[in-house]
Copies of this chain bind each other. A is one copy, B any other.
Amino acid sequence: MTEFKGVFIVADGLGGRPTDTPEGKTCLEAARTPHLDELARRGALGLLDPIAPGVRPGSDTAHLSLFGYDPFEEYPGRGVFEAVGVGLEVHEGDVCFRTNFATVDEDFVVKDRRAGRIHEGQEELERALQGLQPRSAPDVEVLFKASTEHRGALVLRGPDLSPSVSEADPHATGQRVREVVPLEDTPQARRTAQILNEIIRRSYEILKDLPLNRDRAAKGLPPANLLLPRGPSTVPRFETLPRRYGIKGAVIAAGALYIGIGRLLGLEFHRAEGATGGLDTDIRSKIALALEELQTKDFVFVHIKGTDTAGHDRNARAKIEFLERIDEALGALVEGLDWERTHLAFTGDHATPIAYGDHVSDPVPVLFVGPNVLPDATEAFHERAALRGGLHRFAGRVVPMLAGYNNWLRKFGT
């Protein structure tokens, strides 16, 4: 193992805006976060542009950027992260999609893009969709795996496929599911579009009369009666973190995307008990597992989703409470980390302010702490403190900087 270890914690959608609360405070300012404030006093703050100033990040592109990969160069599309995250094996040449279970009427008009954020029956749905073999393409294998709530992943495997196809998801209720069309004039794109249209049609045939959906209809719940693929992607070839830095690392996350990113970057996935990816997740359990993994690993990446969810829900109270729960859980880290040999980076992958309810490009606070980090004068961890942070402002590359403090970097030149 390396001399120093690294812990990288991302609170998804961490950042906010002064419009978050009536008092003009961001949620992070309003939250009581004594542990983060103590870490801020011991370390240094910066203002992080997840990708670049004025670039509005997705969670996938932002994470790539934070890990030190240029998303403009290396972003393969979303699907592969979800596919790997739900545990599908992918091979070069596969075309991957994330999927939603949606609710449509018999005319394929979308009633609910998330089938009421369905919490049940994922196994039944997944089982029903096995053998989705397209009749129009007998040489193509179709893999499907359900994930949390309405989420899942679809992989097409076979010759002559292309990710250059449009999305079926109209991204709005009350609109018809769109016909998938090729986005480039190639036989591969045309064939892939045709396969997808067949899969979508057949998913409705298979799902509409599923016992689960009859039950839901009886209870007045929206049925999960259509598979809606989106985010087509290829399978990338990242230089993994173990290869880049000569380390062993783990990812502790619940959301498939984050598990997938970690796995594709060469991290070992570990499931923390009680981690749900939602506001009800057990953050203490994740931190405890991180401390455990650090016994045998050089690097642990912990992803916490609830902050983003509360932001999307435009629920300031929920976001503040969740931030306070993160801070409580960090107590175990403040106590338990070997601070003479460990550097911690804590940040968000973007801001999800309450009034807007979606990702924005505003910079977010980032904290580095550990023996090689020169402390600055900040005494709290939030957006306003980060405006005076000693690390000033930079774009992405949080993990390379952490690797720098850990003496893991190879020299460029001599």
Q: Taking beta carbons and an 8 Å cutoff, which residues of A are in contact with B?
A: 17-19, 26, 44, 47, 49, 51-62, 68, 71, 75, 78, 231, 353, 356, 358-363, 371-377, 383-384, 387-388, 390-394, 397, 399-401, 403-405, 407, 409-414
Contacts and interface: CB of A to CB of B under 8 A. Distances in A.
Contact of A18 (B53, B371, B388, B411): B371
Given A55-B400, A68-B54, A401-B361, A407 B356 contact: yes
17 contacts: A17-B372, A18-B374, A19-B371, A51-B412, A53-B401, A53-B404, A54-B404, A55-B412, A56-B404, A56-B409, A57-B411, A58-B411, A59-B414, A61-B413, A75-B413, A353-B372, A392-B393
A57 B414 CA distance: 8
Nearest to A29: B374
Contacts of A377: 387-388
Contact of A362 (B359, B361, B372): B372
A360 B53 contact: no
Contacts of A383: 374
B412 A58 contact: yes
- Report which residue of A17, A78, A393 has the largest number of chain B beta carbons within 10 angstroms of its beta carbon: A393
B44 A404 contact: no
A263 to B, nearest CB: 18
A65 to B, nearest CB: 10
Given A18-B373, A56-B412, 4 more contacts: A49-B394, A54-B68, A358-B411, A376-B388
How many copies of the polypeptide does the oligomer hold? 2
A397 B54 contact: yes
Contacts of A47: 390-392
A52 B395 CA distance: 10
A78 B231 contact: no
Nearest to A25: B374
- Report which residue of A373, A375, A394, A410 has the largest number of chain B beta carbons within 10 angstroms of its beta carbon: A394
A375 B19 CA distance: 12
B374 A413 contact: no
Nearest to A383: B374
Given A377-B387, A384-B374, A57 B412 contact: yes
A361 B409 contact: yes
Contacts of A410: 56
**9 closest Cβ contacts across the A-B interface?**
A54-B400, A58-B413, A387-B390, A61-B413, A361-B404, A392-B393, A56-B409, A58-B414, A392-B392
Contacts of A405: 362
Contact of A53 (B384, B390, B397): B397
Contacts of A413: 57-62, 71, 75, 78
Given A62-B413, A409-B361, A414-B59, A17 B374 contact: yes
A214 to B, nearest CB: 33
A8 to B, nearest CB: 12
A355 to B, nearest CB: 8
A43 to B, nearest CB: 11
Contact of A393 (B360, B394, B403): B394
A78 B392 CA distance: 32
Contacts of A397: 52-54
A269 B159 CA distance: 54
Nearest to A378: B387
- Report which residue of A54, A78, A390 has the largest number of chain B beta carbons within 10 angstroms of its beta carbon: A54
Nearest to A403: B54
Contact of A414 (B19, B60, B353, B360): B60
A390 B47 CA distance: 9
A56 B374 CA distance: 17
A17 B17 CA distance: 34
A72 to B, nearest CB: 8
